[in-house]
Structure 1
Amino acid sequence: MPTSDTTVNTPVFREVPSDPIGVKVATLRNGLTVYLSVNDNEPRVYTNIVVRSGSKQDPADATGLAHYMEHMLFKGTSRIGALDWEQESVYLEKIADLYEAHRQTQEAEERSRIYAEIDRLSNEAARLVAPNEYDLLAGAIGAKHTNAYTWVDQTVYVNDVPANELERWMKLESERFRMMALRLFHTELETVYEEFNIGQDQDARKVNRAIREVLFPTHPYGTQTTIGTASHLRNPSQRKIQEYFRTYYVPNNMALILSGDFDPEEVMALAERYFGSFEPAALPPFSFDAQPQPEAPVYREVYGQEAAFVDIAWRLEGAATDDPMMLTLVQSLLSNYQAGLMDLNLNQRQQVLDASAWAWYYQDFSVLGLAARPREGQSMEAVEQLLLGEVERLKKGEFDAWMIEAAVKDLRLREVKSFEQNRGRVDMMSQAFILGIDWARMTNRYDWWAAVSKEDIMAFARERLGANRVVVYKKEGEDPNVLKVEKPAITSVELQRGQLSAYAQEFLSAEPEPIAPVFADFPAHIHRQELQPGLELACVRNTENELFRLDYVYEINKQCDPRLAMALGYLPYLGTSRYSAAELQRQFFRLGLSFDVHVNDDYTYLTVSGLSESMEEGMHLMEHVLMDVQPDESALQNMIGDILKRRADAKQNRNFVLRRALGSYARYGADSPFQNRVPEAQLRQLQADELISLLKSLQGYKHTVHYYGPEAAEQVAKWVGQIHHRASALKEVPRARSFKQLPTLQNEVLFVDFPIVQADVMLISRGTPRFDLGEFQLSEWYNEYFGYGLSSVVFQEIRESRALAYSAFAYYSSPDRADQAHYLQAYLGTQPDKLVEAIPALSGILKDMPVVPGQAEHARLSILRRIESERITKGRYFWEALSAQRLGLEEDPRSGLYQRLSAAALPDLEAFHAAHVAGRSFRYAVLGSKERMPMAELAKIGPVHELSLDEVFGY
Structure 2
Amino acid sequence: KKTQKENLESNPKRVELLRDSFLSFVEWEVMDQEIQVLEKVTKEDVVRVANKYFGEDYVVGFRVDQQHVLPSIEKPKIDPLEIDPDKQSAFMKEVEEIPFNPFEPDFIESGKDFVSKEIADGITLVHVSNPLNDLFGIEVRMGIGSDHEPMLPYLKRMLSRSGAGEISSEDLKIEWYKLATDFGFAVRQHYSSFSLNGLDENFEESLDLVEKHLLSPTLLSDTWEKTKEILLSERDDEQKDPRALSNALAHFHRYGQNSRFRKRPSDADLNASTPQNLGTLITDLLAVNRTILYFGPRSVEEIEKTILEGMIGQKPTKETPPFSPDRSFQASKNQVYFLQKEMAQAQVRLEFAVGTYEEEMTPLAQLYNEYFGGGMAGLVFQELREARALAYSAWAHFFTPSRPTEENILVGAIGCQADKTIEAVNAFMELLDNMPINQTRWESAYSSILSTYRTNPSKSRSIPGFVFDYNALGLQEDPRKNRYQKIQKVQIDDLKNFYEQKIQPQSILVSIVGDSDKIDLQELEKIGKVTAIRPEELFRR
TM-score norm. by structure 1 comes to: 0.54
Corresponding position of 2:443 = 857
Say yes or no: does 1:634 pair with 2:219: no
1:472 corresponds to which letter in structure 2? Answer: G
Which residue of 818, 836, 845 maps to 2:422? Answer: 836
Distance 1:502 1:513, change over 3 A: same
Instruction: Tell me which residue corresponds to 2:64.
Output: 475
Shift of 1:863: 0.9
2:109 paired with 1:521: yes
Whole-angstrom CA distance in 1 between matches of 2:24 and 2:521: 50
Q: Which amino acid aligns with 1:571?
A: L
Residue 745 (1) aligns with residue 332 (2): yes
Query: Residues 441 and 472 from structure 1, CA distance in 2 versus in 1: closer, same or farther, beyond 3 angstroms?
Result: farther
Q: CA deviation at 1:822?
A: 1.2
Distance between the aligned counterparts of 1:674 and 1:936, measured in 2?
29
Q: 2: distance between equivalents of 1:696 and 1:944?
A: 47
Answering whether residue 379 of structure 2 is matched by residue 793 of structure 1, we say yes
* Aligned with 1:940 (options 511, 520, 526): 526
CA contact (8 A) 2:129 2:297 kept: yes
Q: Flag the structure with more relative contact order, 1 or 2, with Cα contacts below 8 A and sequence separation at least 6.
A: 2
Q: For each residue in 1:878-911, what CA deviation from the matched residue of structure 2 results, as whole angstroms up to 9, or x when unmatched?
A: 1111211222222222222211211111111111
Q: What are structure 1's unaligned runs of at least 5 residues?
A: 1-411
SS of the residue corresponding to residue 474 of structure 1 reads: coil
The answer to whether the 8 Å contact 1:832/1:934 transfers is no
- The one of 170, 192, 197 equivalent to 1:609 is 197
Q: What SS class does the counterpart of residue 469 from structure 2 fall into?
A: helix
| SS in structure 1 of the partner of residue 330 of structure 2 | coil
Matched, 1:428 2:21: no
- Structure 1 pair 755/441, CA: closer, same or farther in 2 (3 Å)? farther
1:656 aligned to which of 224, 238, 244: 244
1:59-97 residue CA offsets vs partner (Å, 9 max, x unmatched): xxxxxxxxxxxxxxxxxxxxxxxxxxxxxxxxxxxxxxx
Quote the residue 1:453 is aligned against: 42
Q: Does 2:135 match 1:547?
A: yes
Alpha-carbon distance in structure 1 between the residues aligned to 2:221 and 2:110: 46
CA distance in 1, matches of 2:29, 2:516: 57
Q: Give the TM-score taking structure 2 as reference length.
A: 0.93
Q: Which is higher, the Rg of structure 1 or of structure 2?
A: 1
Cα pair 1:550 1:608 within 8 Å, conserved: yes
- Aligned residue for 2:337, secondary structure, equals strand
Aligned residues: CA RMSD = 2.4
How many Å apart are 1:913 and its aligned residue?
Answer: 1.2
Residue 476 of structure 1, CA deviation? 1.7
Q: Which stretches in structure 2 are left out of the alignment for 5+ residues?
A: none
Residue 486 to residue 555, structure 1, CA distance change in 2 (3 Å): farther
Residue from 588, 591, 603 that aligns with 2:176:
588
Question: Is 1:560 aligned to 2:148, yes or no?
Answer: yes
How much has 1:629 moved relative to structure 2?
A: 3.0
- The C-alpha deviation readout for 1:15-50, integer Å capped at 9, x for no partner, is xxxxxxxxxxxxxxxxxxxxxxxxxxxxxxxxxxxx
Q: Matched residues in 1 for 2:83 and 2:187: separation?
A: 48
State the partner residue of 1:700: 287
| Counterpart in the other structure of 1:712 | 299
1:522 and 1:881 in contact (8 A); partners too: no
Structure 2 residue aligned with 1:691: 278
Q: Is the 8 A contact 2:122 2:315 kept in 1?
A: no
Whether 2:404 is the aligned partner of 1:815: answer: no
Structure-2 change in CA distance of 1:853 and 1:691 (3 Å): same
Contact 2:286 2:316 in 1 (8 A): no
Residue 470 of structure 1: how far off its partner (Å): 2.6
Q: Partner of 1:678 in structure 2?
A: 265
Q: In structure 2, what is the Cα distance between the partners aligned to 1:757 and 1:588?
A: 45
The 2-side partners of 1:848 and 1:423 are apart by 39
CA distance in 2, matches of 1:484, 1:897: 52
Change in CA separation of 1:546 and 1:690 when aligned onto 2, cut-off 3 Å: same
Task: Give 1:29's aligned residue.
Answer: none
Is the contact made by 2:257 and 2:263 (CA closer than 8 Å) also made in structure 1?
no
Aligned residues: 541
Q: Give the partner amino acid of 2:276.
A: D
Q: State how far apart, in whole Å, the 2-side matches of 1:734 and 1:940 are.
A: 45
Identity %: 27
Question: What are the superposed Cα offsets for residues 816-856 of structure 1, whole Å, 9 maximum, x if unpaired?
Answer: 22111112222222212222322222211221111211221
In structure 2, the partner of 1:644 is 232
Matched residue type, 1:672: S
- Measure the CA separation in 2 of the matches of 1:931 and 1:414: 51
Whole-Å separation in 2 of the counterparts to 1:858 and 1:725: 48
Change over 3 Å in CA distance of 1:757–1:715 after alignment to 2: same
2:156 and 2:493 map into 1 onto residues whose CA distance is 51
Residue pair 1:670, 1:951 contacting (<8 A) in 2 also:
no
Query: Distance in 2 between the 1:418 and 1:483 partners?
Result: 46
Offset from partner CA, 1:853-872 (integer Å, 9 cap, x none): 12212211221122122211
Post-superposition Cα deviations, 1:717-748, rounded to whole Å, max 9, x if no partner, equal 12112223665453211234543322233211
Task: Measure the CA separation in 2 of the matches of 1:539 and 1:454.
Answer: 39
Aligned partners of 2:15 and 2:540: how far apart in 1? Answer: 44
The aligned residue for residue 507 of structure 2 is 921
Per-residue CA shift, 1:583-634, capped at 9, x if unaligned? 2222221111122211110111121220110001111121222333345322
- CA 1:705 to 1:829, structure 2 compared with 1: closer, same or farther past 3 Å? same
Alpha-carbon distance in 1 for matches of 2:515, 2:21? 44
2-structure distance, mates of 1:657, 1:433: 45
The reply to whether residue 418 of structure 1 matches residue 14 of structure 2 is no
Match among 718, 721, 725 for residue 308 of structure 2 = 721
Partner SS, residue 822 of structure 1: strand
Q: Is the 8 A contact 1:560 1:737 kept in 2?
A: no
Change (3 A) 1:483 1:446: farther
Deviation at 1:433, TM superposition (A): 4.4
Deviation at 1:505, TM superposition (A): 4.8
Alpha-carbon distance in structure 1 between the residues aligned to 2:395 and 2:237:
28
Q: Is the 8 A contact 1:594 1:610 kept in 2?
A: yes
Amino acid corresponding to residue 284 of structure 2 in structure 1: S
Q: Where does residue 896 of structure 1 map in the other structure?
A: 482
Q: Structure 1 residues 809 and 511, CA, compared in 2 at 3 Å: closer, same or farther?
A: farther
Residue correspondence of structure 1 range 349-388 to structure 2 within 5 A = none
Q: Is the CA contact 2:123–2:315 (under 8 Å) kept in the aligned structure 1?
A: no
Q: What one-letter code is carried by the residue in structure 1 that aligns with 2:287?
A: G
Q: Deviations over 1:94-143 (max 9, x none)?
A: xxxxxxxxxxxxxxxxxxxxxxxxxxxxxxxxxxxxxxxxxxxxxxxxxx
